[in-house]
Structure 1
Amino acid sequence: MKDYPRIETRLVNAGKVTEIAGFLMAFTVPVIALYLDGREVLREARFIPMGKLRNDLKRIYEGVFEA
């Protein structure tokens, strides 16, 4: 995420913070969820293709912060 300094990240262990799974409707691990102005704009879960994730993050970041 060092390439996207304006995105705040949080790592949450759903085993320790059990309420988060229900709140995010994340019933498998791992889950990556990206929110923009309170709206989910990206979700990847279980088997996360890193190339696709990088491309999606780049597209979203450039669209929001470099527009």
Structure 2
Amino acid sequence: MEDVLKDFSRIKLATINAKEVPEIAGYLMAFTVPVLVLYFDGKEVLREARIVHLEKFQENIRKIHESI
């Protein structure tokens, strides 16, 4: 994931293991893994789950990053 975000210095990466923090799944309504969620100003702006096409995810991030 670090490779996908290398061009977006303003985006911070955090990884949470749902097995270690089971309440996070309910809080994020993440009932499958993996789940990639991007927040801006405390609001969810992008979510990808289960099968994540990294090139498409990166392009979606690029569009969001350019618009803010």
Q: Same fold (TM over 0.5)?
A: yes
TM-score, length-scaled by structure 1: 0.90
Number of residue pairs aligned between Structure 1 and Structure 2: 64
**Paired residue for 1:14, among 4, 14, 18?**
18
Q: Mark the runs of 5 or more structure 1 residues left unpaired by the alignment.
A: none
2:41 is aligned with 1:37: yes
Q: Mark the runs of 5 or more structure 2 residues left unpaired by the alignment.
A: none
How far does the alpha carbon of each residue in 1:19-38 deviate from its partner, in whole angstroms, 9 at most, with x for none?
Answer: 11011000000000011111
Structural RMSD (CA): 0.7
TM-score, length-scaled by structure 2: 0.89
SS state of the match for residue 9, structure 2? coil
SS state of the match for residue 29, structure 1? coil
Identity %: 52
Greater relative contact order: 1 or 2 (C-alpha under 8 angstroms, separation 6 or more)?
Answer: 2
CA distance in 1, matches of 2:27, 2:8: 25
